[in-house]
Structure 1
Amino acid sequence: MVLKGFNHILNVDFSWGTADLKKHVSIYTRKQ
């Protein structure tokens, strides 16, 4: 059960990370 919760936290962190990455990429490409 603990591992399941840990995986969930990792998945949430990963999805936030990819969202941030896409945001930064869109800002960067707009500046070009």
Structure 2
Amino acid sequence: MPHLVEAAKAYATLGEMMDVFRDVFGEYNPSWGY
């Protein structure tokens, strides 16, 4: 959390922060069907 606060203080956009999360954790894609 402190890193997100520092990024916000440095005027990083929410999109930029979420791009970092996607790079680190990946993106959830639910499988369709049964």
Q: Same fold (TM over 0.5)?
A: no
Q: Which has the higher helix share?
A: 1
TM superposition score normalised by structure 1: 0.38
